[in-house]
Structure 1
Amino acid sequence: MRRHQQSSACRNPPAGGGAADGRALPDRGLRAGVPAGRGEPALQGHPRRGPQAARRARGEGGRPCRHRRAGGRYLPPGRRTGRRPHRRRPSQARLLHVALVEGFGRCLADRGCALQRADRAGAVNQPIPAPLRSAAGSTAWQQYSVLIVDDEEGMRSFLHKMLAGRCSLVETAGSAEEGRTLFNRIHFDLIILDISLPGKSGVEWLDELREGGFQGDVILITAFADIDTAIHALRAGAADFILKPFRVDQILNAIRKCFDRARLLRENFVLRREVAELSGGIEGIVGCSDAMNRLCQMIKRVAAMPSTVLLQGESGVGKEVAARALHSMSPRAQRPFVPVNCGAISPELIESELFGHAKGAFTGASEAHHGLFYYARGGTLFLDEIAELPLPMQAKLLRVLEERMIRPVGSTREIPVDIRVVAATNRNLADEVRHGRFRHDLFYRLDVVNIVIPPLRQRREDILPLAGHFAAQLASHLGLPAVPLDDGIAARLQAYDWPGNVRELKNLVERSLILGYFPLDALPEGGVTETVASAAALDAVEKSHILEVLAACGGNKSEAARRLGVSRKTVERKLAQWGA
C-alpha cells in the first residue's frame, strides 16, 4: 500500500514542488511539477556527471544523453523505470514481405482494381483495365492452352473467366494430383501454379514437371513472400513469381511474356524447316537417288509429330544419322539427343542404364544414379539394336512407352518423362515376333511410323556424292589433302556391292586419305557377288567364323562376343539357329 501511494505521488506531484504530504523533495536533477518538454529543461544537472551531461541534454553540444526517452523526458540511471522493452530487429525476409504487401496495397488502392475475394463457392470479380482488354483479347493467344492449379475456387474462377475467351483451352484443378491427371491427358503450353496446395506443394510439382521434360512455362503465384521459396522456384525453372493479391495487368503481362517465348520457339522451328527445304536436303543425309529423296520427305513429314519411329535397315546404312535428322527437325531440337546401343550393354545392367537406380539398390550402388531416360527428358532417346533387348526388359520398356513413367531400380518413386523414342534394328522384327524372340505388343507400339533405309547397293547413284562428302569432311578433320578420284576409281566404287554400306565406304575414304591413294585391292572386281556365290555361302562363312572364335575362347560366349564385336545374345541366337 505504501509503495502504491509512493508511486502515485511520483506520477502526480503537487504543483508547489513538494511531496504529496507537503515535504520538500530532494534535488536529484528532476524538478517535480514541470512536465517533460515544457518550460525549463527537466534535467538541471547530474549529481555525478556534472554540467557536461546537462549541456548534452539541452542540445548545446556533444552526444545526446543515453538516458533520453521518446517523450523528451530525461531520467538519470536511478529513475529509468519507464524504459520500453527491447525489440528484436526484423529480418530481411520480414521487411521484404511487409514492403511488398504494403506496395501492392497502395497500388491496388490507387488504381481502384483491388482483388475482391469471394467465398469458396463464389467467383472473383475484378475490372480489367481498358488498355489491356483489347491487347489480351486479340487472336494471338488463341493457339495456346493453359492449366490453372489453385486450391482457392474464387481464384480459379477469376483466372478462368479472364483467359477463357482468349486462349484455345483453359482447364482448372484444385490440387497437384488433379493437375497431374489433366496434364497426362492434355498438352498445355502454360501452367499457372499456386505454391500452397493440399498434399504436394506447387514447387514440388514444378520439380517433377522439369524432371519429366515439360518444356512449357510455369508461373508460380503465392500469398507468402518467402525469399528461399522464390529462389527455389526460379532455379527450378519458373517463368515468373507473382505475389497475391496481384493486379490484372501484372498477371496478363506475365502470361504475354510466356506466350511470346513459345511463339519464338515455334517460329525458330519453322524457319529451320524452311532452310532445310531450301537447301534441298537434311543435314547429315547425302544422296540424290529417288530412294533418298523419298527418305528425306518422310523424315520432314514425321519430324514434327511426337509419334514413335522405327528405323529398319542393314548395318551401316545410317540409321543413327536418320534418327539425328528426325531430332534436329523436331520441336525437341533444343533438347538432348541420347543414343544407346542396346546390344552393347549386358542384360544385368540394361535396366539400371536406362531407368537409373536408387542408393543401395544392389551391391556397389553407393549413390543414386539417373538413367538415360532421365537425361533424355524433353528430347529424343535413340534405342539402336532394339531387337537385342531381353524379353523381361522389353516388357518394362512397353510400360514406359504407354504410361510415360519410369521407376529406378530399387525405388518406389515413379518419375514422369516426356521423351520421344526412336528405335532402330538391322533385323526384321516381324520375323523376330513370329519366332518368339520379340514381344508382339512392343512391336506394335514401336511400329507407329516405320521407315526403311535402303542399302547402298540399291542406290548406287549415291556412292560418288557420299565419297566426295566424306573426303572433304575427313580431310578437314585430319588435316590431310584430298585424294583425286579419277574415272577408273569411280567405276570401281560404283561396281562394288558394299556389304558394310555407308560405314564401309567412309572407312575406305579415310584409309585412302591416310595412305594417299585409294586401296583398290580391297575392292574385288565385279563386286561381292562374284566372290561369294549366294547368301547361303555367306551364312556358311559366318557360321564357320563364329564357331572358330568360340572354340578359340574355350566355349566362353561372352569372350567370343567381345572378340566378334557383337552382343552375347547375338552369339546365343546364332548357335540356337544352327543347333550348335
Structure 2
Amino acid sequence: MRATIYVTDDDQNVCAALSRRLVKKGHHVRSFHSGPSLIEALEHELPDLLFLDLKMPEMDGLETLRQIRQKIPKTLVVMLTAYGSVEDAVEAMRLGAYDFLIKSIDFSTVDPALHRAITFLELRRRIEFSASEKQRQYSWEHVIARSPAMTRVVEQLKFFDAQDTPLVFLQGEVGTGKEFLARILHYNSHKQLGPFVTVSCNEQRGSLLEPQIFGYERGAFSGASQSMPGAFEHSDGGTLFVDEIEHLPIPVQGSLADAIRTREFCRMGGFDRLPTNNRIVVTSSIPLDQPGYQEIFHPELRSLLEKQQLFIPPLRERKEDIIPLVIKTIHAYGEEIGRPKLDIDSSVPPLLDTYQFPGNIRELEAMIRRAVLCSQGPVLTSLDFYSQHPGSGEGLPPNTGRVLFEIGGHSLQDIQVMVIDEVLRFTKQDREQAAGYLHISTQTLDEYIQLRKKISHETERS
C-alpha cells in the first residue's frame, strides 16, 4: 500500500535522508523539525505512519507523543533515537508507540520496521473493510418487520444490545431465521469487530462438542497431544453462537451454564479458570416448557435461558412480512444470477397468503429460487410458484399436504408412520425440513423413524 508518512526530527539532515528513503519506496512523505509544527499539521491531515525523534530541544518526542495520541488513535508511531534507554522505550510503548528504533547511519533498521508497520496497516484495512461489508449485509434495514410480531422481536433485540446482555436465547421453529438475527445483533453491536463463532450442536457427536466449545489441555483425552483453544477463546470479544442447544449433552449444558453465570470457564482437562468477554447467543427449535421435553435441558441452563428468551415467530404468524420477503429475495437472487429487474404480478400475493410455510423463511427462499429458475420473463406469476411436475414435492402443487387412508383400516401408530413416510417423500428425505412440516424437532423425528423401522421389522418377522 502507498502510505502517508510523517517524519519529525530536529536534525534536518536526518529528516531529509529518511524522507528520501521513504519516498523511493513509493510513499507520500512530509517532514517536520519540531513537535509543535507536527501538532499543527495534524489539524489538517492524519498520517498512516509517523516516525518521531525522541530527543528534540523544543518539545521532546515523548511529550509530543503524549499530546498527539488522542488526535491520532489509528496512526502507528515509531520512535527514533540515537541512544535509547530501556526506560525511554517502556515509556514510549506505554504512551502508545508502535515501535522503538535506534537510528543507524545507513537507516538499515528502518526498513524492517517499515515493513512490519505496512503489513499491520494492510491487515487492519482488510479487517475494517470486511467488518464494514458485514455491517452493510447485516444492517437493521435488512430485517423485514412489517408485522407486529417481528416488530416486537426487533425492539427486544435492540434492547438486549443496549443493555449489553451477555446471553440471548432465540427460540423458534426450524427455518425462522434465528442465525440471521444473531448476526444482525452481532454486527450492530459494539462487538461487531470481534469474531462471530458458530457451534452447531446437531452436526457433531455429543462427545466432540465439549472440546469444541471449551477447548482442551494436552492429555485431556486419547489423542490430545497438544493444548487447543475452543470456541469460547476464539469468540472472545465477539459472539459465540450455539445452535440447537437441545442436542448438547446435559453435562456440557451444565458447564455452559456455569460459564454464562461466572463469565469464566475451564478447558477440558484443565484447572485454570479463564475469563471470557463474549456474548453468547443460544437457539432452540423446542420451547423450554414443551411437555415431555423438560429433561433435555439442564435445570441451571433452563433457568438462565428463561430470563433471556425471545420467541421468533413462524412465517405463518407474520403474514404482513411475506411479500416484502419475497420481493427482497427475488431482487437478491436476481442480482446473483444476472437478472436484476425481476418482479411479481398480482396473482402471487393471494397464492402465498393461503400457504402455511411449515419450513418458514428457509422454505420460502427455496421456493422463490425455484420460481425464478422456472420463470421465462422479468415478472413472476403464480404459475411459476407451482411445480413443473405436480406431485414431485417442489413448488406448490395442488395436493400439497394430503395423506389419504381408509378410516378404520389402520391403527394410530400406523397412521403416524404413513404421515412421516409421506412427509419424508415430499421433502426428498430432508429431515430438517420434514421436522419443520411436522412441527417437531429432528430428534423426535429420528425417534419416529426408528419406530417405523421397528414396526416394519416386526411385520416382516410375523
TM-score normalized with structure 2 length: 0.57
Give 1:451-470 correspondences, 5 Å limit. Answer: 451-470=310-329
Deviations 1:13-48 (A, max 9, x none): xxxxxxxxxxxxxxxxxxxxxxxxxxxxxxxxxxxx
Alignment of structure 1 residues 546-565 onto 2, 5 Å: none
Q: CA deviation at 1:500?
A: 0.5
Q: What do residues 261-282 of structure 1 show as CA deviations (whole Å, max 9, x unaligned)?
A: xxxxxxxxxxx9xx99xxxx82
Q: Does the 8 Å contact 1:312/1:453 carry over to 2? A: yes
Counterparts in 2 of 1:565 and 1:297: CA distance versus 1, 3 Å: closer
SS in 1 for 2:157: helix
Distance (Å, rounded) in 2 between the aligned partners of 1:284 and 1:297:
15
Aligned pairs for 1:374-453 within 5 A: 374-431=233-290, 435-453=294-312
Partner of 2:211: 352
The question of whether the paired residues in 1 share the 8 Å contact of 2:288 and 2:306 is answered with: no
Alignment of 1:2-13 (within 5 A): none
Q: 1:542 to 1:357 in 2, by over 3 A?
A: farther
User: CA, structure 1 residues 347+328, in 2 after alignment: closer, same or farther (shift >3 Å)?
Assistant: same
Aligned residue runs from structure 1 range 313-392, under 5 A: 313-392=172-251
Q: Is contact 1:373-1:381 (8 Å) kept? A: yes
Shift of 1:359: 3.1
Q: Does the aligned pair in 2 maintain the 1:311–1:453 contact within 8 Å?
A: yes
- The CA RMSD measured in Å over matched residues stands at 4.6
Higher alpha-carbon deviation: 509-518 or 306-315: 509-518
For residues 124-177 of structure 1, the C-alpha deviation after alignment (integer angstroms, 9 at most, x for no partner) is xxxxxxxx9xxxxxxxxxxxxxxxxxxxxxxxxxxxxxxxxxxxxxxxxxxxxx
Distance, in Å, in 2 between the alignment partners of 1:404 and 1:291 is 32
Q: Which residue of 2 aligns with 1:173?
A: none
Alpha-carbon distance, 1:484 to partner: 3.8
Moved over 6 A (4+): 530-533, 535-538, 545-548, 559-568, 575-579
How far the C-alpha of 1:333 sits from its partner, in A, is 2.0
**Residue 289 of structure 1: which of 138, 147, 166 is its match?**
147
> For 1:397 and 1:240, how far apart are their aligned partners in 2?
37
Look up the equivalent residue of 1:355 and give its one-letter code.
Answer: F
Return the letter of the residue paired with 1:496.
Y
Question: Match of 1:523?
Answer: 396
Q: What is the alpha-carbon distance in structure 2 between the residues aligned to residue 561 and residue 457 of structure 1?
A: 21
2:24 matched residue in structure 1 = none
Equivalences for residues 483-498 of structure 1 within 5 A: 483-498=342-357
Contact 2:288 2:294 in 1 (8 A): no
Q: Counterpart of 1:317 in structure 2: which amino acid? A: T
Tell me the amino acid that sits aligned with residue 164 of structure 2: P
- CA shift, 1:360, in A, is 3.8
Deviations 1:505-559 (A, max 9, x none): 111112223333524132144975x6699x99995456447999xxxxxxxxxx9
Change (3 A) 1:579 1:507: closer
- SS, match of residue 382 in structure 1: strand
* Distance in 1, Cα, partners of 2:145 & 2:249: 36
- Within the alignment, does 1:304 sit opposite 2:162 as a pair? yes
The answer to whether the 8 Å contact 2:330/2:343 transfers is no
The 1:503/1:389 distance shift into structure 2, 3 A limit, reads same
Partners of 1:563 and 1:296 lie apart in 2 by 26
Which segments of 5 or more consecutive residues in structure 1 lack a partner in the other structure?
Answer: 1-99, 112-131, 133-223, 242-271, 549-558
- Give the C-alpha shift of residue 339 in structure 1: 2.3
Work out the CA distance in 1 between the residues paired with 2:95 and 2:305.
Answer: 35
In structure 2, how many angstroms separate the alpha carbons of the residues matched to 1:460 and 1:536? 34
Number of equivalent positions: 315
C-alpha spacing 1:579/1:476, structure 2 compared with 1 (3 Å): closer
Question: Relative to structure 1, is the Cα distance of residues 563 and 476 closer, same or farther in structure 2, using a 3 angstrom cutoff?
Answer: closer
Q: Identify if the C-alpha distance between structure 1 residues 564 and 228 changes in structure 2 by more than 3 Å, giving closer, same or farther.
A: farther
Deviations 1:366-417 (A, max 9, x none): 4332211111111111111111111111111111112222222233333211
Contact 2:424 2:434 in 1 (8 A): no
Alignment of 1:142-161 (within 5 A): none
- How much identity, in percent, do the aligned residues show? 29
- Residues 577/319 of structure 1: CA separation in 2 closer, same or farther (3 Å cut): farther
Residue 481 of structure 1, CA deviation: 4.8
| Partner Cα distance (1:293, 1:562) in 2 | 27
Query: Does the 8 A contact of 1:482 with 1:513 survive in 2?
Result: no
Corresponding residue SS for 2:206: coil
CA shift digits 1:51-87 (9 cap, x unpaired): xxxxxxxxxxxxxxxxxxxxxxxxxxxxxxxxxxxxx
Letter in 1 for 2:353: Q
User: Do residues 474 (structure 1) and 333 (structure 2) align?
Assistant: yes
1:288 maps to amino acid = R
Q: Secondary structure at the match of 1:374?
A: helix
1:98-126, CA deviations, whole angstroms, 9 ceiling, x for partnerless residues? xx9xx8xxx99xx9xxxxxxxxxxxxxxx
Structure 1 residues 288, 546: closer, same or farther in 2, change over 3 A? closer
Report the secondary structure of 2:174's partner residue: coil
Partner secondary structure for residue 140 of structure 2? coil
CA 367–229 in structure 1, closer or farther in 2 if over 3 Å, else same: farther
Is residue 2:360 matched to residue 1:501? yes
Distance 2:353 2:433 in 1: 31
- The 8 Å contact of residues 457 and 501 in structure 1, kept in 2 or not, is answered as yes
SS of aligned partner of 1:400: helix
**Residue identity in the other structure for 1:399:** D
Q: What is residue 513 of structure 1 aligned with on the other side? A: 372
Q: Distance in 1 between matches of 2:286 and 2:386?
A: 31
2 CA distance for matches of 1:465 and 1:496? 16
* Inter-partner Cα distance in structure 2 for 1:470 and 1:331: 28
Amino acid at match of 1:402: R
Q: Tell me: CA distance 1:408–1:497, structure 2 relative to 1, closer, same or farther (3 Å).
A: same
- Cα offset for 1:433? 7.7
Unaligned runs of 5+ in 2: 1-53, 68-83, 98-131, 377-383, 388-394, 406-411, 455-462
CA distance in 1, matches of 2:297, 2:431: 21
Give the residue type in structure 2 aligned to 1:520: Y
Residue in structure 1 matched with residue 48 of structure 2 by the alignment: none
Counterpart mapping for 1:195-274 below 5 A: 226=86, 240=96
* Greater relative contact order (Cα < 8 A, sep 6+): 2
Q: Secondary structure at the match of 2:295?
A: coil
Cα pair 1:492 1:525 within 8 Å, conserved: no
Cα distance in structure 2, aligned partners of 1:226 and 1:538: 82
- The answer as to whether partners of 1:353 and 1:372 remain within 8 angstroms in 2 is yes
